[in-house]
Amino acid sequence: MSVSQLGNDTLRPSVWGDSGLLARVMSAGSRRHVALLKQGFVFLFVLLAAVVSTLIPWLPVSDAPSMWAGVFAAFCGVVFASVVSRRPRLLTWEIVIPAADFVAVGLLRYGTGDSGSVFIPIILLPIVWIAVWPGRLSIVWLLIGSAVTFMLPFVIEPSGRAPSEFIRIAFSLAIYATIGLAINELARQASRKVELSRAQQHAVERELDRAATIQQSLLPPKTSLLPEMFAVRGRCIPARAVGGDFYDWYPTPDGIALTVGDVMGKGVGAGMIAAAVRSVIRSSSDDLDPAVALRRATTGLASGDGDVQFTTCFHARITPSGEIRWADGGHGLALIRRATGLVERLQSSDLPIGLGDRWTSYADQLHPGDTIVCISDGVLDLFPDELHAFSQFQLLLISSGDPSDIVQKVAELVGDDEQADDVTVVAATFAPALTRA
């Protein structure tokens, strides 16, 4: 399971931050355009302030050239942000954009009433965006920028300033620094939570990878190892969250063995239990009674810590003469599709491995062309009517008893959709005519 590669512009923290609504609406491939988007808002506010000051008589315009110079400064920020969006390497100079905003607000303030300007709150935009920059150095930058905004009128018109103006500037800078510290700390905590969430996500992905590896290792050997009178096919389509489905087939001294199991739970733990159950059942190939394999498996799952782990399992033995013996541990999803098209369900009332301690072996006779089919409960989830899903699967078997066709039909039901549970199907046809051919 691979991790998506990040573009060059995501390798360093942005001065403007990555949290909030703006970051959520931007896709990973367009993150370098966030600065342009944010600067566009600043420019619109500065332009709107200049326009309404010009149109509304009771809004003071103390110096129109300075006011429109502020609009031009904000526009220059837009231009530079546009260049940055096209050349990600310039992101290291992103601080130039809010710097232009501080100058723009200072000129706008001077041109719309100086200390009496109603548009000074616009300064909060570059302050907030710089404050989310990682590190306490961002507080220094926003203090310098705020000082430029308030001291710019002193540079343009140094004379006639009341001493109280300096006190007001000092208090304003202190308040803005406090706001910046609070925002910076919140951004730092949010960043830590994001990093922790990513670490947890990577841990889950690694676990799913390990679980998928375990599940892959449980696949049976090639069917060429089986006697020629048996045509066997199987498939397990894992869900996004890897579960504990497994299937197996192998030759035995008296014919072949088939196993389909479903372990409670998902992930690595379920995969390890599936591997253990499969291994114990395989080790019982010397015993002709399939119920013995389930008893040995439940002994292997016995835990002294009180935790209950169980596995539903269907295990069958088929001889070259077509005699089939099976034991069912709470699985209940096996059928025989006769060559005539009749479908018979193999019933069992025994408990799953890990819960029960006794299992009964059942017997039947397969005739040439008969097919035994076993599925996991994930197959039933593919049908819209849950109450009649098994009956609908039986209808699916009527049209064809070929193992390859059965497996393919189940795969087509899955399609490209993600499933909540693994989908497993095994089909074996008794075809003694192949041996004579």
Would you say residue 130 lies in a domain? Answer: yes
- Summarize pLDDT for 224-242 with one digit per residue, the tens: 678 889 999 999 887 766 6
Closest CA to 77 of 48, 37, 50, 114: 37
How much is the pLDDT for 432? 83
Q: Does pLDDT of 340 surpass 70?
A: yes
Residue 112 near residue 143 (C-beta atoms within 8 A): no
Alpha-carbon dihedral angle through residues 131, 135, 140, 146, given to the nearest 10 degrees: -10
151 and 277 share a domain? Answer: no
Q: How many domains, the chain?
A: 2
State whether 280 and 198 are in the same domain: no
Does the predicted model carry a pTM greater than 0.75? no
pLDDT in tens, 70-89: 999 999 999 998 888 888 78
**Confidence band, pLDDT 50/70/90 cuts, at residue 433:** low
Instruction: Give domain status of residue 211, yes or no.
Output: no
Longest dimension (CA), the chain: 114
Q: What is the tens place of the pLDDT at every residue in 199-233? A: 988 887 887 777 677 667 767 866 667 888 999 99
Query: 335 near 343, Cβ under 8 Å?
Result: yes
| CATH number for the domain that contains residue 310 | 3.60.40.10
Domain that holds residue 158: 8-204
- Does residue 65 surpass a pLDDT of 80? yes
Q: Output the six-digit token pair for 325.
A: 């013996």
**Span 20-50, pLDDT tens digits:** 444 443 443 354 578 888 889 999 999 999 9
The pLDDT tens digits for 261-292 are 998 877 677 778 888 888 899 998 888 899 99
Quick one: 124 and 258 in the same domain? no
| 1: in domain | no
Q: Tell whether 156 and 273 lie within a shared domain.
A: no
Residues 325 and 183 in one domain: no
Please indicate, yes or no, if residue 303 is contained in any of the structural domains: yes
- Residue-level pLDDT at 137: 86
Q: What pLDDT is recorded for position 38?
A: 87
Count of CB atoms within 10 A of residue 309's CB?
20
Residue with tokens 């370098």: 32
Contact 428, 230 (CB under 8 A): yes
pLDDT at 387: 81
Cβ–Cβ < 8 Å for 311, 263 = yes
pLDDT tens by residue, 118-159: 999 999 999 988 888 888 888 899 999 999 999 888 888 877
